[in-house]
């Protein structure tokens, strides 16, 4: 009975965020240009880089309507979901943090997201409604509610945690049905600031062995342009998914 009450609360949280976002005015974007390190088997195309850097809000085709796209950021504690959504959002992020209590929280992370976070950004003639899921596993049911109506997902994994492949496996199981049916990208964070033996190729190989062909990239969650590049690639996947086109 207690679980049912909590689930209703999660639905109410998501509903309230949806209502609030409808009344938020979209300001101009401010991006900082740097370079992104890509996974060896998934190179970001020059056209994608150019479109990610483009701050012009003029539609590519005259009269083309602005698209509304819902994107989910999922991943383990410390992977940088809150950092990423704050770096990319053009509105004040809606959400809250609380003290981190899970054993695998690293990088001196004193707090973690315990409710849904919401931000919004404009990219490639699309309004991106970006939702970050709670980091602690005891709130996984909220992520399931949040995925309803989503167009794509970025799974963020902290490469410096105790067993990053096992962490990724957990989220593949949690969101496996979604990733089998909708576009997704695996973004590996804290990749260059940890001495681990897990390479991007290891992640890609693991995915293929489990029947998923999601692109794998490294990501600095603090870097606005890197996040834009990841989201631009995801938008291309979403466009291909809607038209039935397969991208090489």
> Given this model, what pLDDT does residue 145 score?
82
3-state secondary structure of 106: coil
Exposed / middle / buried, residue 139 (Cβ in 10 Å: 0-12, 13-18, 19+): middle
Cα–Cα distance measured from residue 17 to residue 113, given in angstroms and rounded to the nearest whole number: 15
Mean pLDDT by 10 residues, the chain (248 residues): 42 49 37 37 56 59 80 93 95 71 48 74 95 75 84 96 93 91 96 82 94 93 96 94 64
> Given this model, what pLDDT does residue 103 score?
46
Cα–Cα distance measured from residue 178 to residue 151, given in angstroms and rounded to the nearest whole number: 10
For the chain, the structural domain boundaries read 2-243
Q: DSSP character for 90?
A: S
Q: Report whether 133 contacts 116 (CB < 8 A).
A: yes
Q: Report whether 203 contacts 166 (CB < 8 A).
A: no
Strands 111-113 and 97-99: antiparallel
> Given this model, what pLDDT does residue 171 score?
92
Neighbours of 96 (CB within 10 A): 12
* pTM greater than 0.85 (yes/no): no
Cα–Cα distance measured from residue 120 to residue 181, given in angstroms and rounded to the nearest whole number: 24
- The class level of CATH for 2-243 reads alpha beta
Output phi, psi for 233, to 5 deg. -60, -40
> Given this model, what pLDDT does residue 7 score?
39
Look at residues 85, 79, 72 and name the one whose alpha carbon lies nearest to residue 135.
79
Output phi, psi for 136, to 5 deg. -85, 140
Exposed / middle / buried, residue 27 (Cβ in 10 Å: 0-12, 13-18, 19+): exposed
């Amino acid at each position: 009975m207690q679980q049912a009450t909590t689930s209703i609360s999660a639905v109410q949280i998501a509903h309230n965020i949806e209502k609030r976002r409808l009344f938020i005015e979209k300001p101009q974007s401010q991006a900082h240009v740097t370079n992104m390190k890509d996974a060896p088997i998934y190179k970001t195309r020059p056209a994608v880089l150019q479109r990610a850097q483009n701050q012009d809000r003029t539609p590519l085709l005259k009269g083309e309507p602005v698209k509304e796209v819902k994107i989910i950021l999922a991943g383990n504690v410390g992977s940088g979901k809150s950092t990423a959504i704050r770096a990319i959002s053009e509105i004040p992020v809606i959400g809250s943090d609380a003290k981190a209590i899970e054993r695998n929280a690293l990088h001196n992370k004193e707090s973690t997201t315990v409710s849904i976070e919401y931000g919004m950004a404009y990219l490639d003639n699309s309004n991106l409604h970006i939702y970050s899921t709670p980091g602690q596993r005891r709130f996984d049911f909220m992520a399931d509610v949040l995925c309803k109506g989503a167009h794509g997902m970025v799974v963020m994994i902290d490469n410096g945690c105790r067993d990053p492949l096992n962490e990724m496996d957990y989220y593949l199981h949690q969101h496996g049905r979604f990733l089998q049916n909708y576009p997704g990208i695996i973004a590996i964070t804290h990749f260059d600031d940890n001495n681990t033996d897990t390479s991007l190729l290891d992640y890609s190989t693991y995915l293929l062995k489990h029947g998923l062909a999601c692109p794998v990239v490294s990501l600095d969650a603090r870097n606005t342009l890197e996040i834009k590049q990841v989201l631009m690639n995801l938008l291309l996947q979403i466009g291909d998914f809607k038209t039935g086109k397969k991208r090489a």
